[in-house]
Structure 1
Amino acid sequence: MTKPLIVITGASSGIGAETARLFAAEGHPLLLLARRLELLEELGLPDALCRKVDVTDRDAVAAAVREAQERHGPADAIVNNAGAMLLGRVADQPVDEWDRMIDLNIKGVLYGIRAVLPGMLARGAGTVINISSVAGRKTFPNHTAYVATKFAVHALSENLREEVAASGVRVVTIAPGAVETELLSHTSDERIKSDYRAWKESAGGALAPRAVAEAVAYAYRQPPEVTIREIVLAATGQES
């Protein structure tokens, strides 16, 4: 049988790229979205429609989803993975960093959901998987604005699940601890970056992106009548 379409945002590296590789290996056609088109194409995955899309552009997200669905049929799942982690103290962090995280981590997730959800509701099936963080469940030093956006992802995911549960649509929150990705490199405060690296090393390292991708796939593979509402995972040595 032909596998259904899966949409993955932020698919050019890290968790998104590993999730794309995993689902491609299982025979799913993919819509891969990211700002770095060349990295998407370098993945070289079969039946993967790669589009340069910033998920803060809701019209571009919707257009890419329409194009993919015309080619591969309805989207059975979306993995809202695109996000930014810009650490800083509220008293002196550049405010435009807050704006970037709010636009990407919250609005970008909502735009991805809106692009696929009406079709899922009409069909009575589908899975929305939102990549949040343990920072959506507890606080950390120098994470205030980032934590705010990830608490929002947890809240909107649970509220959405309540809205759509009776329609047969599943909503899953994946909450990883520290992961070996590019996220930290975008933080502008060098001291905070250094402290974060030291904290990560003290925990014996971070999760491999593949571990998070496997959690995504596990939740998706469940029978339609089963929803894994939330998966929280972290490196064994990470205490907080």
Structure 2
Amino acid sequence: MSKPLIVLTGASSGIGAATARLLSADGHPLLLIARRTERLEALDLPRALCRKVDVTERAQVEQAVAEAEQEFGPADAIVNNAGAMLLGHMADQPVEEWDRMIDLNIKGVLYGVRAVLPGMLARRGGTIINISSIAGRKTFPDHTAYCATKFAVHALSESLRAEVASAGIRVVTIAPGAVETELLSHTSNEQIRTDYEAWKESAGGALDPQVVAESIRYAYRQPQNVTVREIVLASTGQET
């Protein structure tokens, strides 16, 4: 029996790439979305449509989803994984970094949801998985703007779940602690990057992206009448 299409944003590295490999191994056709198509193609996954898309541009997201559905059939799930973690002090962090996180972490998730939700409502089924963070549940120093965007992901997920539950649509929030990804490298404050790396080391290291990918797959694999509403995971040594 053929498996349904899954859409995955931010699929070129880290959690996204690990999740793509797992879902492909399960036999799903995939729409892989990222800005670096060469990374997507290097995954070399069968039945994977790789598209260069800026998730902050709604029309681009909707066009890619429509193309994938034309080729593979309706999207049964989306994993909204694309995001940015730009840490900084509120008093002097470049405002452009706030704007980038708002556009990517909030609007990008909303646009991903909008691209698949009408079809899911019409079919009365589907799964929306939003990748948030422990920083969407509690605050951390130098994370103010980032926390604001991830708290928003938690809020929109909870509200959306209430809207679509009666239509048989599941909404899942994945909230990892520190993960070994490229996210930290984009923080412009060198001291904050150094302090964060020292904090990770003191906690015994961060999560492997594969572990987070497995939590995504676990939630998706549950029967359609079971929603794993939220998974919070972190390395054992991460105290906060």
Sort the TM-score into its range (normalised by shorter chain): over 0.9
CA distance in 2, matches of 1:181, 1:221: 25
Q: Are 1:148 and 2:148 counterparts?
A: yes
After superposition, the C-alpha distances for 1:37-63 in whole angstroms (9 at most, x for unaligned) are: 100000000000000001001000000
Question: Given residue 133 of structure 1, which amino acid in structure 2 is its aligned partner?
Answer: S
Where does structure 1 differ by over 3 angstroms across 4 or more consecutive aligned residues?
none
Q: Percent identity?
A: 78
Q: CA deviation at 1:213?
A: 0.3
Structure 1 spans left out of the alignment, 5+ residues: none
2:223 matches 1:223:
yes
Match of 1:193 in 2: 193
What is the aligned partner in structure 2 of residue 166 from structure 1?
Answer: 166
Deviation at 1:231, TM superposition (A): 0.2
Q: Does 1:48 align with 2:40?
A: no
Q: Distance in 2 between matches of 1:131 and 1:82?
A: 8
How far has the Cα of 1:133 moved from its partner? Answer: 0.1
Distance 2:27 2:229 in 1: 25
Q: 3-state SS of the aligned residue for 2:223? A: coil
Q: Secondary structure at the match of 1:232?
A: strand
Rounded Cα–Cα distance in structure 1 between residues aligned with 2:45 and 2:237:
34
Q: How far does residue 141 in structure 1 lie from its aligned partner after superposition? A: 0.5
- Measured in 2, the distance between the counterparts of 1:39 and 1:213 equals 18
For 1:208 and 1:114, the matched residues in 2 are separated by: 30
What is the RMSD computed on CA atoms of the aligned residues?
0.3
Residues of 1 paired with 2:128 and 2:224: CA distance?
Answer: 12
Q: Residues 168-210 of structure 1: CA distance to partner in whole angstroms, max 9, x if unpaired?
A: 0000000000000000000000000000000000000000000
> TM-score normalised to the size of structure 2?
1.00
What is the SS of the residue equivalent to 1:191? helix
Equivalent residues in 2 for 1:118-137, closer than 5 Å: 118-137=118-137
Equivalent residue for 1:9? 9
Give 3-state SS (helix, strand or coil) of 2:141's partner.
coil
Number of corresponding residues: 240
CA distance in 2, matches of 1:210, 1:110: 25
Residue in 2 that maps onto 1:177: 177
Q: Distance in 2 between matches of 1:57 and 1:31?
A: 17
Letter in 1 for 2:168: G
Deviation sequence 1:132-167 (CA, Å, 0-9, x none)? 000000000100000000000000000000000000
Q: TM-score, normalised on structure 1?
A: 1.00
User: Are 1:87 and 2:75 matched, yes or no?
Assistant: no
Partner of 2:18: 18
Structure 2: gaps spanning 5 or more residues:
none
CA distance in 1 between partners of 2:150 and 2:169 (Å): 22
